[in-house]
Structure 1
Amino acid sequence: MPEGHSVHRLARQFGSVFVGERLSISSPQGRFAAGARRIDGQTLVGSRAHGKQLFLTFDNDLELRVHLGLYGAWSFGGDDTFRGASSIGAPRRVGEQETSDDGEELTYAGPPTPVGAVRVRLVASHGWADLRGPTACEVLTSGESAMIESKLGPDPLDPHADPEAFTARVRRSRTPIAALLMNQSVIAGVGNVYRAEVLFRRRLNPQTPGRELSTTDVQALWSEAVAAMLNGVRNGRIVTTDPLIWGGGVATPEEAHYVYRRAGKQCRVCNAKVLVSELAARKLYWCPDCQS
């Protein structure tokens, strides 16, 4: 599932490419035809991310809310003025780093014929965007969007977020911290990769109940999430390891993480074997020595 850094990159890309444009909006697949009619021909006036949720705001006081879920992804293209990633979305579809599908310069002769189940197509004067496979895709009023956002926890990528709200929710809970980090009402945007990596970087046992962590520990965990996710926004992929591990240049997928998807391999710090178990229906990776 795309984590918060990918959705913030989406919001930036929509902001730089489509905000201020009057958009032609359709549903080639047909499943979003009624919603598309409500915003077709309107001007996009804003885009924002809150955790894993993307909100596109139009000049008729309606918003398109998208949650990509496990399989959703956006693809983009445009003329020679278009600048941005060609695909952003589910790792299973496009990988952790956004790249052009064919590795070549994008060309534009109008949007291509839709391929596959395109839920929504947005077309502007210089580019287009196609959405496939989202968990949620709906048109809301600004008030309805505000209600959804009010139920989400603070977002580490929001410079105005209140980390004290995160600290308070963690320290009053008996739930293991590894489960709390995946709860979007506690902290918005952290997924399975960031969960495993920030816990390792803080040397925290993932099974520790939130209420047993000190305020200092929880505040440091928030700061770790902020730093890691900001790096993800800058680079378009999740790399949490120290550059000394990959010796400069670009980290390979094998070098990018301390524990995530490294079950049975040696810990990069202490050489113990990385363990994996299941928590809240997701695989949890950790080092039994560094995070004891």
Structure 2
Amino acid sequence: MPEGHSVHRIARQFAQNYVGRAVRTSSPQGRFAEGAALIDGREMLAARAVGKQMFLEFEGDLWLRVHLGMYGAWDFAGTIEVDPTIASANGRMGQTNQRGTDLGEVEVFDAAGENSLSSIGAPRRARAHVRMSEQTTGLPADDHWPPHPVGQVRLRLLTDVTCADLRGPTACEIQTPDQVVAAIAKLGPDPLVDDVDEAEERFVAVVRRKPTAIGLLLMDQAVVSGIGNVYRAELLFRAGVNPYTSGRDVPEDTVRALWRDWVRLLRIGVETGQMMTMDGLDGDAYRRAMAHRDDRHWVYHRAGLPCRVCGTAIVVEEAAGRKLYWCPSCQA
């Protein structure tokens, strides 16, 4: 499931390429035909993400709410302009599936040997589709415009030069402004949306009164928005917290540290497009980590492998239907 950093990046992609433009909408699959018809031809006014959900505003007080869930993905094709705020500040901005960042004058290549700094431009004509979700790769090139729908496309958003296809979402619905407010009110704080200090107090207050295990609370989108399985495991390891400790038994200073670490890791994820959770890596190690997921995490996806700190075998267990990775020594 895409975690918060991916959804924020997708929202920025829409803000850069769709906001201020009239959008033709359709449902090639047919399952969202009525909803698509309601916003067809309308101008997109805003694009925002809150946690794992995205909200696209159209003229006429209509909003499109999308939650990708476990299997959803956006595929972009055509001319795709880079978000200039990130590109100018950090020298990098890529689609979720494209890897790489800059290290001063050091070029960073992904596993396929692609230099992300030169291959990601603004604007550019993308002959291959660019998939916006987790752990996905580009789709075959398609010279036809607009591109032929591939698979079960729930919704297509089309401008004169850019195409976005949505497949397999958990939620895809048209909402009124009041419904959007109600949907967001159910979500926990998001460091990129809410006042960070006020959000910290809200997070701490909720966690400290809950008997629920902290490992479950971090995955509860009503407690904090955007954290998924990867960030949950990594945040708890970085804080040295046993995932089975009840929220109310986690010291307040530790709960605050968890929040502040989430603020930091989320920003890194949005800037780089990767859930980079290891600190202090040198050039070569950083390059490997950006190119390969197995080199950028402390415990996630490392079941049975020695802990990078103490050497104890990393454990994987099931918690609320999701895999939980942790070190029984460092997080005792």
TM-score (norm: length of structure 2): 0.81
Deviations 1:158-195 (A, max 9, x none): 25251111100000000010000000000011000000
Deviations 1:230-267 (A, max 9, x none): 11111112121134376242412221110011011000
1:88 alignment counterpart: 132
Aligned-residue identity in percent:
50
Letter in 2 for 1:209: S
- Give the stretch that moved more between structures: 212-221 or 39-48: 212-221
1:123 alignment counterpart: 158
Deviations 1:79-110 (A, max 9, x none): 3x64463111143xx1xxxx6446xxx88752
Deviations 1:255-287 (A, max 9, x none): 111001101100001111101111111111100
Aligned partners of 1:53, 1:126: CA distance in 2, in Å?
Answer: 25
**1:44–1:56: 8 Å Cα contact kept in structure 2?**
yes
Letter in 1 for 2:132: I
Decide which of 263, 266, 285 is 1:247's aligned counterpart: 285
Aligned partners of 2:9, 2:288: CA distance in 1, in Å?
Answer: 20
1:42 alignment counterpart: 42
Aligned partners of 1:155, 1:254: CA distance in 2, in Å?
Answer: 27
2:145 alignment counterpart: 110
Asked if 1:271 is matched to 2:311, the reply is yes
Q: How does 1:127-276 map to 2 (within 5 A)?
A: 127-161=162-196, 162-244=199-281, 247-251=285-289, 252-276=292-316
Aligned partners of 2:59, 2:195: CA distance in 1, in Å?
Answer: 25
Deviation for aligned residue 1:156: 2.6
Asked if 1:70 is matched to 2:84, the reply is no
Letter in 1 for 2:188: G
Aligned partners of 2:156, 2:234: CA distance in 1, in Å?
Answer: 35
User: Where do 5+ consecutive residues of structure 1 fail to align?
Assistant: none
Aligned partners of 1:69, 1:186: CA distance in 2, in Å?
Answer: 18
TM-aligned CA distance change 1:82 to 1:244, over 3 Å = closer
Find the residue that maps to 1:65 and give its secondary structure. strand
**1:177–1:206: 8 Å Cα contact kept in structure 2?**
yes
Find the residue that maps to 1:74 and give its secondary structure. strand
Aligned partners of 2:139, 2:150: CA distance in 1, in Å?
Answer: 14
- Give the stretch that moved more between structures: 180-189 or 246-255: 246-255
- Give the stretch that moved more between structures: 56-65 or 249-258: 249-258
Aligned partners of 2:315, 2:192: CA distance in 1, in Å?
Answer: 29
Find the residue that maps to 1:273 and give its secondary structure. coil
2:89 alignment counterpart: none
TM-score (norm: length of structure 1): 0.92
Aligned partners of 2:316, 2:258: CA distance in 1, in Å?
Answer: 21
2:106 alignment counterpart: none
Find the residue that maps to 2:164 and give its secondary structure. strand
- CA RMSD across the alignment: 1.7
Find the residue that maps to 1:122 and give its secondary structure. strand
Find the residue that maps to 1:247 and give its secondary structure. helix
Find the residue that maps to 1:263 and give its secondary structure. coil
TM-aligned CA distance change 1:64 to 1:182, over 3 Å = same
Letter in 1 for 2:148: T
Find the residue that maps to 1:157 and give its secondary structure. coil
Aligned partners of 2:254, 2:280: CA distance in 1, in Å?
Answer: 25
